[in-house]
Structure 1
Amino acid sequence: MKPHLDRGDVPLFNRYLARGSVYFEFGSGGSTVAAAKMKNIRRIYSVENDATWVSKVKTAVNDKDRVTIFYIEMDCGETEWGNPGSRSTYDDWVRYSRALENLSSEEALEIDLFMIDGRFRVACLLNAFARMSDAALVMFDDFSDRPFYHIVLDYFEIVERGSRMVVLKKRSVPPPDQTLIERYEKIAQ
């Protein structure tokens, strides 16, 4: 299982993964497996909404002791990749984008590398803003060609660009307000 990234972004992903020590990702898969192979990564947290996919990822990960997968049921069933199912609720979507709240404040502040590659990407990152360290870096996949995601640039600055992925760092600005976050918690992109 390999990361599902644009070919031009794989070196960028690997370079930042090699610098990290505690990794948190929204959307599991090949990125989870790659992180588990890195000896410098001492802890991995992954958020996933597809039970079948969770099973495949767990099978592919060789060092399960370092990996915690937060499975958020969203009744995916037979839908397009990662979309919430027809019986999923707004509460399910909120639990997904707020999954960082499953960790203590101390655990959240230890995270030095995030990967945004699942559903509700804008909401995930905006929700993480107040709980993440100022030094943490964020790899955001499919960012360059999806202007819808660019609202996060009000709160994060681009450190490096790949072909579709960008690496972001927090700006020294107040956190996003709850009204803005709630708007994006309703959009699965």
Structure 2
Amino acid sequence: MLIRYTPGRTGLGEGVRRAARALLYAPTAWRMARDPAYPWINAGAVHCLDRFLAPSMTAFEWGGGRSTFFFASRVARLVTVEHREKWRRRLARELVGQGVANVTLRFAPPGDAKGRPEDRPAVWRQTGYVPGKPEFAAYADAILDFGPDSFDLVSVDGRARVACALNALSRLRPGGLLVLDNSEWEKYAPVFTAASGWPRRDFENGVWRTTIWCRPAGANT
């Protein structure tokens, strides 16, 4: 059971809920305070990824930050896509300042660019998914610049997460992992439908959930 935060709600019951959330979140906050490169996802998922990643691997992520340094220190190459120019510049400075040279930082701001709908994998047609945020089409389609089976890991922790995840399915190598943070939200149900035949693990801490899928050999995307 997850204890969700409800904006605007007040009263004794909500105060208890907030206190419970803070208590459940404390271990993650402690780990993040100790390690600036500790990613903002569930601890179980972090442990799983730490065991999986290897120096020969290639990774892709939507939403840079702590995870960028976590992934970059464990793989050969990382592609990170950001939609906010101010944050992209800050992240670029920090990467240079820490001597991290294996990250390709890409900028895809929201706008009128239609993206690459003709190149989207068949799962879009199979699920009938219609993007709820068309302004992020180019952002979600950034991974389509790479061929099928390009990445050992794809992390979805930014905007337009369903569109990003659907595109990611075909860019993962067999045995590769797809990571979706905040996966408890009902709006991400199309991802679960699209990857219904893939082995999956859910990691919860009582506040939010991180889900990791493994692409099986022969999976159709």
TM-score relative to the length of structure 1 = 0.71
RMSD: 2.2
Structure 1 residues 14 and 47, CA gap change in structure 2 (3 angstroms): farther
Do the aligned residues in 2 keep the contact of 1:33 with 1:60 (CA within 8 Å)? no
Structure 1 unaligned blocks of 5 or more: 75-87, 176-189
Contact 2:152 2:173 survives alignment (8 Å): yes
- Measured in 1, the distance between the counterparts of 2:152 and 2:181 equals 17
Number of the residue aligned with 2:213 = 168
Q: Percent identical across equivalent pairs?
A: 21
Residue in structure 2 matched with residue 183 of structure 1 by the alignment? none
1:12 matches 2:21 = no
Confirm or deny: 8 A CA contact 1:49 1:73 kept in the other structure.
yes
Q: Distance in 1 between matches of 2:159 and 2:140?
A: 8
The Cα of 1:90 is off from its aligned counterpart by 5.5
Compute the displacement of 1:13 (Å): 2.0
Q: Which amino acid counterpart does residue 67 of structure 2 have in structure 1? A: S
How far 1:167 moved relative to its partner? Answer: 0.5
CA distance in 1, matches of 2:173, 2:39: 27
Shift of 1:130: 2.6
1:47 alignment counterpart: 81
Structure with the greater alpha carbon radius of gyration: 2
TM-score, length-scaled by structure 2:
0.62
Equivalent of residue 188 in structure 2, options 146, 149, 154: 149
How far apart, in 1, do the equivalents of 2:185 and 2:38 lie?
Answer: 19
Structure 1 residue 33: Cα displacement: 1.6
Name the SS for the 2:52 alignment partner.
coil
Structural mapping, 1:55-66, within 5 Å: 55-61=89-95, 62-66=98-102
Cα distance change on mapping 1:125 and 1:111 into 2, 3 Å:
same
Question: CA–CA distance in 2 between the matches of 1:3 and 1:25?
Answer: 15
Matches within 5 A, 1:84-103: 88-89=111-112, 91=114, 93-103=136-146
Residues 65 and 137 (structure 1 numbering): CA distance in 2 closer, same or farther, change over 3 Å? same
Question: Which amino acid in 2 is paired with 1:26?
Answer: W
1:59 and 1:10 map into 2 onto residues whose CA distance is 27
> 1:82 corresponds to which residue?
none
Q: Whole-Å Cα distance in 1 between the matches of residues 90 and 51 of structure 2?
A: 24
Deviation readout 1:16-60 (Å, 9 max, x if unpaired): 14422211101111100222233xx10001111011111121222
Partners of 1:37 and 1:63 within 8 A in 2: no
Deviations 1:156-186 (A, max 9, x none): 23521111101012466643xxxxxxxxxxx
